[in-house]
Amino acid sequence: IIGGQNSLRGGWPWQAAIRLRGSQSDGRLVCGATLINSCWALTAAHCFKRYGNSSRLYKVRVGDYHTLVPEDFEEEYAVEKIVLHGRYHSHGNDYDLALVRMSGRGGACVSLSHHVLPVCLPARRERAPRGTGNCYITGWGDTGRAYSKTLQQAAISVLGKRECELHFAGTFNKRMLCAGAPSDDHRRVDSCRGDSGGPLVCERPAGGGWVIYGVTSWGHACRLHDSPGVYTKVSAFLPWIKKVTGQ
**Distance between CA atoms of residues 227 and 213, nearest Å:** 19
> Taking CB under 6 A as the rule, does residue 219 contact ligand 4AZ?
yes
Q: Which one of 94-102, 125-133, 211-219, 235-243 is the stretch in contact with ligand 4AZ (CB under 6 A)? A: 211-219
**Distance between CA atoms of residues 126 and 138, nearest Å:** 21
From the list 153, 191, 232, 235, which residue makes contact with ligand 4AZ (rule: CB under 6 A)?
Answer: 191
Q: Which one of 85-93, 153-161, 213-221, 234-242 is the stretch in contact with ligand 4AZ (CB under 6 A)? A: 213-221
> Taking CB under 6 A as the rule, does residue 47 contact ligand 4AZ?
no
Give whole-number Cα distances, 76 to 44, 58, 100, 102, 207, in Å: 19, 10, 14, 9, 30
From the list 192, 202, 212, 234, which residue makes contact with ligand 4AZ (rule: CB under 6 A)?
Answer: 192
From the list 64, 75, 96, 190, which residue makes contact with ligand 4AZ (rule: CB under 6 A)?
Answer: 190
> Taking CB under 6 A as the rule, does residue 168 contact ligand 4AZ?
no
Q: Which one of 82-90, 149-157, 168-176, 188-196 is the stretch in contact with ligand 4AZ (CB under 6 A)? A: 188-196
**Distance between CA atoms of residues 32 and 12, nearest Å:** 12
From the list 148, 218, 234, 241, which residue makes contact with ligand 4AZ (rule: CB under 6 A)?
Answer: 218
> Taking CB under 6 A as the rule, does residue 133 contact ligand 4AZ?
no
Binding site for ligand 4AZ (CB under 6 A): 190-193, 195-196, 216, 218-219, 222, 229
